């Protein structure tokens, strides 16, 4: 059974996480895909191709991506290289305090190049990426022509 994990499962968006895949065959070629839907329902995704090590594991912190959205060793590459399915869209979080982005991480057998994946993943998990920590208070600012928000720590 293939297991995909992200540690910690819930974190602030600027904090690194550890992604690992276990239970693959030694030297198996896989596609690791990350995707999310923003608040407008637009899909953003990234993918990277990896060859599992001798124990059937993939760890983007130590294993180089062979291609896809990026190549080389990028521990947070799947998160940093998220691209929109629709051209000229930007990944923007409007409700920073109310809800996280839910990033879905999936692993597929072989090289998956198509944006619309029709096969079932070998394994998957979800990661919560929050933009405001617990207890932080958001105060709207409206002073003359100035608009903004002040974030106060707990």
**Band of pLDDT at residue 20, cut at 50, 70 and 90:** very high
Measured at the CA of 104, the angle between CA 62 and CA 119, to 5 degrees, comes to 95
Q: Give the single-character DSSP code of 117.
A: -
Non-local (6+) Cβ contacts of 148 within 8 A are 140, 141
What is the pLDDT, as a whole number, of residue 112?
86
3-state secondary structure of 79: helix
- The whole-number average pLDDT for the span 32-47 is 95
d(CA 112, CA 109): 8
d(CA 34, CA 57): 17
How many other CB atoms sit within 10 Å of the CB of residue 68? 20
* pTM (2 d.p.): 0.88
Residue 80 phi/psi, 5-degree rounding, is -75, -30
User: For the chain, what percent of residues have pLDDT higher than 70?
Assistant: 98
CATH 2.40.50.100 fits 3-152, yes or no: no
What is the pLDDT, as a whole number, of residue 67?
96
Question: How many helices (H) does the chain have, and how many strands (E)?
Answer: 1, 11
- What is the tens place of the pLDDT at every residue in 77-119? 999 999 999 999 999 998 888 899 999 999 999 998 876 667 8
Q: Which residue has the higher pLDDT, 98 or 13?
A: 13
Structure tokens at 57: 């594991």
pLDDT at 51 over 70: yes
What is the pLDDT, as a whole number, of residue 96?
87
Going by DSSP bridges, is the β-strand pair 29-37/101-109 parallel, antiparallel, or unpaired? Answer: antiparallel
What is the pLDDT, as a whole number, of residue 115?
65
59, 77 Cβ separation under 8 angstroms: no
């Amino acid at each position: 059974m293939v297991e995909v994990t992200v540690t910690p499962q819930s974190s602030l968006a600027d904090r690194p996480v550890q992604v690992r895949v276990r239970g693959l065959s030694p030297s198996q070629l896989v596609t690791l895909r990350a995707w999310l839907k923003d608040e407008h329902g637009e899909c953003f995704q990234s993918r990277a191709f990896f060859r599992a090590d001798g124990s059937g594991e993939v760890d983007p912190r130590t294993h180089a991506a062979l291609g896809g959205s990026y190549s080389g060793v990028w521990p947070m590459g799947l998160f940093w290289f998220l691209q929109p399915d629709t051209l000229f869209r930007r990944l923007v979080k409007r409700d920073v305090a109310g809800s996280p982005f839910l990033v879905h991480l999936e692993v597929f057998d072989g090289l998956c190049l198509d944006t619309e994946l029709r096969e079932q993943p070998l394994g998957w998990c979800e990661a919560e990426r929050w933009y405001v920590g617990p207890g932080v208070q958001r105060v709207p600012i409206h002073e003359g022509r100035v608009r903004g928000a002040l974030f106060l720590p707990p």
